Structure 1
Amino acid sequence: MNKLHVSILAAILTLLGFGIFSYKAFYLGFPLRPSDQTDAWVVEAHATFTGRNKPVKLEVLIPKNSHQFLIMDESFISRGFGLTTQDKQENRQAVWSIRRALGRQNLYYRALVRRNTLSSAPPKYKTPGLSASGYEGALLEAAKALVEEMRSKSADMESFVSRLIASIDATPGDPNVKLLLGRKFSSFKKVETAARVLAVALIPARVVHGIRLDRSTRYVEITYRLEVFDEGTWKSFDWQSRDLGASDDFLPWWRGTDPLVQIKGGDHADVKISVERYQEGAMAGVLEGSDPANPGLTSISLFHLPLEVQSIYRVLLLVPLGGFIVALIRSVIGLRTFGTFMPVLIALAFRETQLGWGIVLFSTLVALGLMFRFYFEHLKLMLVPRLAAILTVVVLLMALVSLLTHKLGLMLGLSVALFPMVIVTMTIERMSTVWDELGAQHALRQGCSSLLCAAVVYLIITVKAVEHLVFTFPELLLVLLAACLMLGRYTGYRLLEYLRFRALLKVGE
């Protein structure tokens, strides 16, 4: 009876999942394959602040059209707030206002960014007014000395600016540069210092704040470039490569030294920016061409969520698939792993560290953690305090490995912080238990099986087509659920058991 019940339930889930999938794919036109790389992106700025039950005015700088990019299809999501957009010198800002605001508030700005294919050359400008450097006394003398040194070692404007950037970015730096930067400085401070030194040299310059469009990410960091006015145009210098010319994937967000967000009447104002490649072609046609009066299933598509939420679900929806793969490997093939979810979470961490480097980091953490676990065993600690001690050791080891790899120039080692520390801790505890009860051979075998399983999950969930299908058609998880139910009723031999008992099979024949 139970087997029949499970079979009927699995059949219903399968029909429901494939039915919704077929309707969306063949009637609504949802694409079955991920879109190719396009020259369009969706950028989203998520502004938050805490209201004090007073009038609030929130100013957020937003991008504007340029000769490289066009800002299209802007939308502002702010319930109960008044909204105006205005130009502020060479920048553009959105101003939200409300009479009373209490508690945490969330405001959104979203825009479609397309590459400007009509403009071939940067426009010509009138010579801008020269901004004051703001240096006085010893700082001014240091800036003048730096200008004279750079002029003596350069032939034109491009070489002058390149030499200046190299001097400011050098470690250890010039004494004049150290004085201008101060003890605590950031990337922005370096670019700002370059602009102020150029003002001393009577050369108009400004800091450009922007974001990279090279990949989709939940929260993108602000990066900086230096623009210098020369021969009627603003010439852009990349701070890292010191090359002249605008970057193909750098979207200027604002210019100058103003902060991204300013608030009056509230506290803790913050803005986080997300980037997502725009779903062109069939996906765009489905989302934009649906009937507003009867949107149907298109209204509950995950593509309507904020970009930062979309980024979360692109990962979360892969977890059930990883769990099914682990269950299939354990129930049908017969590999033993340390738990069901440990290989899945480790596979998700491999997405950032890459497979080979991730295996090395994970093995290192577990090996070092086992050494401390065996030491704690001699101290006769209780279970819960021992687990807390191992967790502390794991965190310290993660920090130590990150520092060592950073000193060695292996920046991938910083991704060790992405490993789920609790899972690593439980793996160490489980592995040491198996080591004590069944011996080192069984413990190492299960550890290797767990890593092999995590590698298989990683290779599957990193396929672009798989990620696209799961995110675009989440109803396929109903089919996956049905497969899990049927797999749960499987009581036959595992593949490794056929190899294990092959001698008995020959005797039976």
Structure 2
Amino acid sequence: MRRWHLLSLVLVLLVTAVSLIAYKVRVLGYPLTPNEEVEGWIVEARLSFEPTGAALKAELAIPLDPPGYVLLDENFVSRGYGLQTEERGDRRMALWSTRRPSGHQTLYYRATVARSDEEREPQPAPPLDQAPEYEELEGEAVQAILDEVRSKSADIATFASILVRVLASPAPDNNVQLLLPNPASRDELARTAIRVLAGARIPARMVQGIRLADGASGLRTEPWLEVNNGDDWIPIDPGDGARGYPDDFLVWWRGGDAPYAVDPARGAELRFSVTRTLEPALEMVTRQAQLAESPVMAYSLSTLPVDVQNVYRALLLIPIGVLLIVFMRNVVGIQTFGTFMPVLIALAFRETDLMSGAILFSVIVALGLAVRFYLEHLKLLLVPRLAVVVIVVILLMLLVSMLSYRMQFDIGLSVALFPMVIMAMTIERISIVWEEHGAGDAIRQSIGSLLVAVACYLVMFQPRVDHFVFVFPEVLLVVLALALLLGRYTGYRLSELLRFRAFAGAGRP
């Protein structure tokens, strides 16, 4: 019964950890490796004008929930201007104001966007109550076009696509020629399609956006068409009737009027520049999850202050080292001083480097051990003796640091980062084992502790392990499950198989 209880607990821990990791990777897009990068775009809008009066107000439409993209960051550059933003229906506006502008003025808005596969909530719109008023000939042409399109369509989406193709035909009929010049621009096609669709009580609106091309400057917006089928808005290319936005199209604002207004001023002009950028995948995904208000982000380490994140980045690696120690002791059979001392020494190695840290640790322990044997002749009590060892260890650290500095060996300055109390206890433990079991056992356990500390350092601070544990701390549930399983291991240690190999050979015929 106890065995099944343990196995059930291990299974629950494993399933929970794997489920959380899979959700983060597949749904939120968290990277599995530390060096992954994702594509982002920096889009800059530049509004320039010449003031013609005193107090000035300027408005600029800025992105609001663009389909297929997520807005990660935005900046405004406008020295001497007051700034605020507000939402007006399906628009978002930046509002600048100043009292005494002088000379040519330029206002900047910069947005960082990235592609997003997150599904947007549907935005249904009720059908129009009544058709617009057309002039007599215009009304007859609109009705003839609607009758032709209605006979060839199956739903609102196909109706709008066919209508656009009829309007954009290179050889338009008389009805189309009455409504549009030949050739017609995309803007004229979109506006005419909206007006004709209104005759069929179908809501439609114009959308303005830009193409994301690396290094592009001086861009102007490109008009697009959106038609509502009662469930959501369907994008349609006003040039050929194709449905859906291109992958490189960023919706900037919705509406047929100008995206900016400056009063009083003249010569207002809006231009866009685009730059492609590669950003760390973890940073990008974290910002996307925060904007999407994912419930996982409420308990994510990335929401903590940076200094606290740095603390937990090291603490979360300790269970990995502890599991390795359990494996090395119970399965391999390497003897160490204590259970956690090698992990703490590995943490100290992180602040120096592996080779220098191992040398410095060995030197200080050896010198401290010599002092400990000298103290044995003074017949001190246990607690005072430990206090003396701690004081001596600190003095040795100071001495090594000073000598390292004089010899221009900067690595020695990091010796103070070693856990001095642990080192003092290690020195005390080595001396006791030396006295009770001999020098062989003491040296063997010292070497084993140092080897395990090196192994912990190599595993814990491998960049992929460091990244994976910090991004997916639920992997510690897997570590916990493995530790529980190792706790029931009662088989032979590998060192015992090597030690008693002669008996195995003796039993053969």
Normalising by the residue count of structure 1, what TM-score does the alignment of the two structures yield? 0.52
- The corresponding residue for 1:391 is 390
List per-residue Cα deviations over 1:366-388 (Å, max 9, x = no partner).
01101111111111111111111
Runs of 4+ deviating beyond 4 Å: 36-40, 291-294
CA distance in 2, matches of 1:381, 1:279: 64
- The corresponding residue for 1:33 is 33
List per-residue Cα deviations over 1:154-181 (Å, max 9, x = no partner).
xxxxxxxxxxxxxxxxxxxxxxxxxxxx
CA distance in 1, matches of 2:312, 2:329: 26
- The corresponding residue for 1:476 is 475
- The corresponding residue for 1:353 is 352
Shift in Å at residue 284 of structure 1? 3.3
Residues 183-262 of structure 1 aligned to structure 2 (within 5 Å): none
Cα separation, partners in 2 of 1:328 and 1:301, compared to 1, 3 Å? same
Shift in Å at residue 507 of structure 1? 2.7
CA distance in 1, matches of 2:360, 2:22: 42
Task: Check the 8 A contact 2:38/2:281 in 1, yes or no.
Answer: no
Equivalent residue letter for 2:382 = L
Residues 71-470 of structure 1 aligned to structure 2 (within 5 Å): 280-290=279-289, 292=291, 294-470=293-469
- The corresponding residue for 1:23 is 23
Shift in Å at residue 301 of structure 1? 1.5
Shift in Å at residue 314 of structure 1? 1.0
SS across alignment from 1:290: helix
Shift in Å at residue 508 of structure 1? 3.0
- The corresponding residue for 2:13 is 13
List per-residue Cα deviations over 1:385-430 (Å, max 9, x = no partner).
1111101110111011101111111011000001000110111011
List per-residue Cα deviations over 1:81-122 (Å, max 9, x = no partner).
xxxxx99xxxxxxxxxxxxxxxxxxxxxxxxxx9xxxxxxxx
Equivalent residue letter for 1:430 = R
Task: Check the 8 A contact 2:39/2:279 in 1, yes or no.
Answer: no
Shift in Å at residue 325 of structure 1? 0.6
Shift in Å at residue 73 of structure 1? 6.3
Cα separation, partners in 2 of 1:414 and 1:28, compared to 1, 3 Å? same
Task: Check the 8 A contact 1:394/1:425 in 2, yes or no.
Answer: yes
Shift in Å at residue 506 of structure 1? 2.1
Task: Check the 8 A contact 1:346/1:419 in 2, yes or no.
Answer: yes
> Rg: which structure is higher?
2
Cα separation, partners in 2 of 1:431 and 1:38, compared to 1, 3 Å? farther
Task: Check the 8 A contact 1:35/1:280 in 2, yes or no.
Answer: no
CA distance in 2, matches of 1:291, 1:441: 58
CA distance in 1, matches of 2:428, 2:333: 22
CA distance in 2, matches of 1:5, 1:378: 54
Cα separation, partners in 2 of 1:284 and 1:366, compared to 1, 3 Å? closer
Shift in Å at residue 291 of structure 1? 6.8
List per-residue Cα deviations over 1:278-322 (Å, max 9, x = no partner).
993432342222375742212321112111111111111111101
Shift in Å at residue 328 of structure 1? 0.6
Equivalent residue letter for 1:396 = L
CA distance in 2, matches of 1:461, 1:384: 34
Shift in Å at residue 475 of structure 1? 0.2
Shift in Å at residue 3 of structure 1? 2.4
Cα separation, partners in 2 of 1:319 and 1:39, compared to 1, 3 Å? farther
Equivalent residue letter for 2:6 = V
Unaligned runs of 5+ in 2: 41-72, 81-111, 113-276
SS across alignment from 1:399: helix
List per-residue Cα deviations over 1:125-182 (Å, max 9, x = no partner).
xxxxxxxxxxxxxxxxxxxxxxxxxxxxxxxxxxxxxxxxxxxxxxxxxxxxxxxxxx
CA distance in 2, matches of 1:8, 1:357: 45
Cα separation, partners in 2 of 1:279 and 1:491, compared to 1, 3 Å? farther
Task: Check the 8 A contact 1:35/1:279 in 2, yes or no.
Answer: no
Shift in Å at residue 4 of structure 1? 2.2
Equivalent residue letter for 1:10 = V
CA distance in 2, matches of 1:508, 1:348: 46
